[in-house]
């Protein structure tokens, strides 16, 4: 007889979140009131369990890498906005002097 391991995920429904969990051999059983319930056969061998969770770990690492890159881009955009803001002020000052 198969023994099952159960997991519940609380929060807003998210297809991609459920898909990631499904990639680690969890089977979606039910969604009720914002809670998703999953099950999978109990794995006796720890190495098999680690292999099953490897895609989730890789996804988390990729997401963190993307977040880090977005932070760099965001910081760069703030710098550029500040740089051009300074130039706009200088141009307005010069034009103000010419128009006076």
Domain edges within the chain: 1-42, 44-100
Mean pLDDT of 24-38: 88
pLDDT in tens, 53-100: 667 667 777 787 888 888 888 888 787 777 777 877 887 888 776 655
CA 88 to CA 39: how far, in whole Å?
60
25 DSSP 8-state letter: T
How much is the pLDDT for 52? 66
Question: Is a pLDDT exceeding 80 seen at residue 9?
Answer: yes
CA dihedral 43→10→17→39, nearest 10 degrees, is 30
- Mean pLDDT over each residue of the chain, to the nearest integer: 78
Question: Is a pLDDT exceeding 60 seen at residue 46?
Answer: no
CA 41 to CA 35: how far, in whole Å?
20
pTM, two decimals, is 0.42
The residues that bridge with 11 in the sheet, in sequence order, are none
32 DSSP 8-state letter: E
Question: Is 38:3 a contact under the CB 8 Å cutoff?
Answer: no
């Amino acid at each position: 007889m198969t023994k099952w391991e159960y997991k519940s995920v609380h929060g807003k429904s998210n297809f991609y979140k459920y898909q990631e969990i499904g990639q680690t051999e969890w089977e979606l059983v039910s969604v009720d009131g914002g809670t998703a319930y999953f099950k999978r056969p109990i794995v006796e061998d720890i190495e098999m369990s680690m292999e099953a969770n490897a895609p989730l770990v890789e996804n988390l690492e990729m997401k963190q890498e993307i977040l880090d890159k977005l932070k760099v881009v965001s910081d760069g955009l703030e710098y550029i906005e500040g740089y051009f803001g300074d130039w706009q002020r200088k141009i307005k000052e010069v034009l103000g002097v010419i128009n006076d």
